[in-house]
Amino acid sequence: MEITIDIDNPLPQFEQLIEQVKAAVTSGVLKPGDALPSIRQLANDLDLNSKTVAKAYQLLTRDSIIETKGYRGTYVHPKAKSNAKFNLQEWTLRKLGESIDELREAGVTDSEIRNAFAEAINRPPPAK
């Protein structure tokens, strides 16, 4: 499967990469368990900085589209197809929207919500 990065495209290069991998998974070109190239190989082949490819791989791993098996390399996740259909951005917006609606109903003003959001996002994550 061929992947194309357009350097004139306003969409960031790592996002172009993510979109194309997701499209390949959804269409069945990439199947669960398929091996993916290493970060270094893909970065050199696409003439990109390896940090760009690493970021794309990191986000795809977070979304369970791909998985890293140590020194053996990176593979397509067993549940990649269903995970690729899930839109994390949309889900985050919906959840935030629901919380904002609830706060507005309780009489909290928008500036108070903004301040509280900034404070909450800067708070360190709870220890696991």
Q: Does residue 108 bind other proteins (CB under 8 A)? A: no
Q: Does residue 90 bind other proteins (CB under 8 A)? A: no
Phi and psi angles of residue 75, each rounded to the nearest 5 degrees, phi first: -130, 160
Give the pairing type, strands 74-76 and 35-36.
Answer: antiparallel
Q: Which segment (20-28, 57-65, 86-94, 108-116) binds other proteins by CB under 8 A?
A: 20-28
Q: Does residue 1 bind other proteins (CB under 8 A)? A: yes
* 81, 29 contact by CB (below 8 A): no
Q: How far is the CB of 93 from other proteins (least distance, A)?
A: 24
- Compute the C-alpha angle 79/21/1, nearest 5°: 110
8, two tokens = 């004139």
Q: How far is the CB of 4 from other proteins (least distance, A)?
A: 5
* 77, 63 contact by CB (below 8 A): no
Residues of this chain, 34-53, that bind other proteins according to CB under 8 A = 35-38, 40-42, 44-48
Residues of this chain, 65-84, that bind other proteins according to CB under 8 A = 73
First to last CA, the chain: 39
Q: Does residue 18 bind other proteins (CB under 8 A)? A: no
Q: Which residues bind other proteins (CB under 8 A)?
A: 1-8, 19-21, 23-24, 27, 29-30, 35-38, 40-42, 44-48, 73
